[in-house]
């Protein structure tokens, strides 16, 4: 007998035992009473045990039937809870949203969307996983996150990446380097000053290293940091020239605590992408979040 058929028989058994009546079980299951009687007989034959005594008032569980009912009752409760949970997940009343990315992208890009999503779906728990692009890719492939927000390009046949934001990186400095303000300088002149960059595993660091190599220069930072906030603060304190996305320092550029270094070459824009696994369908919460930010 197949598992599916067994489940149907156990369901009939459960309602018959719960109500103490084959006719009441038939009504609950939208079956005929002969169908219920046949199902009980099939289950008893399958198990080789008598499960009910037939009485003038209905049916009563035998000792063996009572033992079986104690297990089936638990399974039915779990199934009911599972159905309620599935309904909650479908309606986004509960569940979780797991996103991987850098602190800078969470703070300067995703924060308004995360705030709106949380207000709209307060029952969804948010899990934000910090890491470099290679780490985020690993998190995604291991199933630890639903999506990753990373700098492009990403070339991996297992991943689907949708471009969502363009950034313009630039070099900035504080008052200690005011002599560079309103001047256009060469890359060679730039390298005469202390440079502050992201750690070498970051996509931004890789991009600027390749750019300078293309012009025949090697960029060697005096300071390496792991966050945009430190890039900004170190530049403001006069520790060097920081390489950072202009969109992340709009406030500092406006209040004059930082200024952009003007170069005689154009720095290309970079792009941020939303990365998911091609072979894995998105959860309801992840799908709704993607709709929100697109």
115 with 257, same domain: the answer is no
Residue 153 inside a domain? The answer is no
3-state secondary structure of 247: helix
* Residue in the block written with tokens 């504080």: 174
State yes or no: pLDDT of 195 exceeds 70. yes
Confidence of residue 57 (pLDDT cuts 50, 70, 90): confident
Q: Could you tell me the sign of the dihedral formed by the alpha carbons of 276, 280, 286, 287, in that order? A: positive
Q: Mean pLDDT, to the nearest integer, of 206-220?
A: 93
Residue 37, pLDDT above cutoff 70: yes
- pLDDT tens-digit profile of 231-282? 999 999 999 999 999 999 999 999 999 999 999 999 999 999 999 999 888 8
List, in sequence order, every residue forming a beta bridge with 225; answer none if it has no partner.
Answer: 198
Residue 100 has pLDDT above 50, yes or no: yes
Identify the burial level of 213 via C-beta atoms within 10 angstroms of its C-beta, where 0-12 means exposed, 13-18 middle and 19 or more buried: exposed
More confident residue, 292 or 261: 261
Average pLDDT of the segment spanning 128-151? 90
Q: At 26, which CATH number?
A: 1.10.10.10
Same domain, 210 and 64: no
Question: Are the beta carbons of 123 and 248 closer than 8 angstroms?
Answer: no
Q: Which of 9-13, 20-24, 31-35, 86-90 bottoms out in mean pLDDT, i.e. has the lowest?
A: 86-90
pLDDT band at 16 (very low <50, low <70, confident <90, very high): very high
Whether 162 is in a domain gets the answer no
Other Cβ atoms less than 10 A from the Cβ of 292: the count is: 13
| 109, part of any domain | yes
What digits encode the pLDDT tens for the residues 113-122? Answer: 999 999 999 9
Asked if 293 and 112 count as a contact pair (C-beta separation under 8 A), the reply is: no
Total-model pTM:
0.66
CATH number of the domain bearing residue 191: 3.40.190.10
Place of tokens 């948010």: 126
Q: Which domain holds residue 119?
A: 95-148+278-293
Q: Structural domain tally of the chain? A: 3
């Amino acid at each position: 007998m197949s598992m599916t058929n067994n489940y149907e028989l156990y369901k009939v058994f459960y309602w018959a035992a719960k109500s103490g009546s084959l006719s009441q079980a038939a009504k609950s299951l939208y079956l005929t009473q002969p169908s219920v009687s046949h199902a009980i007989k099939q289950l008893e034959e399958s198990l080789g045990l008598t499960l009910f005594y037939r009485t003038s008032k209905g049916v009563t569980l035998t000792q063996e039937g009572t033992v079986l009912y104690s297990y089936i009752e638990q399974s039915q409760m779990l199934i009911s809870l599972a159905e309620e949970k599935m309904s909650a997940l479908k309606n986004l009343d509960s569940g979780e949203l797991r996103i991987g990315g850098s602190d800078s992208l969470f703070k300067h890009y995703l924060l308004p969307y995360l705030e709106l999503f949380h207000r709209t779906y307060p029952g969804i728990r948010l899990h934000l996983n910090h890491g470099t692009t290679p780490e985020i890719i690993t998190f995604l492939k291991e199933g630890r996150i639903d999506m990753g927000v990373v700098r492009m390009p990403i070339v991996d046949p297992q991943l689907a990446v949708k471009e969502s934001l363009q950034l313009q990186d630039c070099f900035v400095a504080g008052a200690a380097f005011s002599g560079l303000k309103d001047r256009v300088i060469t890359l060679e002149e730039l390298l005469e000053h202390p440079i502050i960059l992201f750690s070498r595993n970051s996509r931004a660091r890789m991009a600027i290293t390749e750019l300078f190599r293309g012009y025949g220069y090697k960029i060697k930072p005096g300071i390496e940091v792991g966050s945009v906030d430190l890039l900004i603060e170190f530049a403001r304190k006069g520790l060097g020239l920081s390489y950072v996305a202009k969109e992340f320092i709009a406030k500092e550029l406006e209040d004059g605590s930082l200024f952009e270094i003007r170069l005689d070459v154009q720095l290309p824009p970079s792009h941020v992408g939303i990365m998911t696994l091609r072979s894995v369908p998105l959860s309801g919460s992840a799908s709704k979040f993607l709709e929100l930010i697109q």
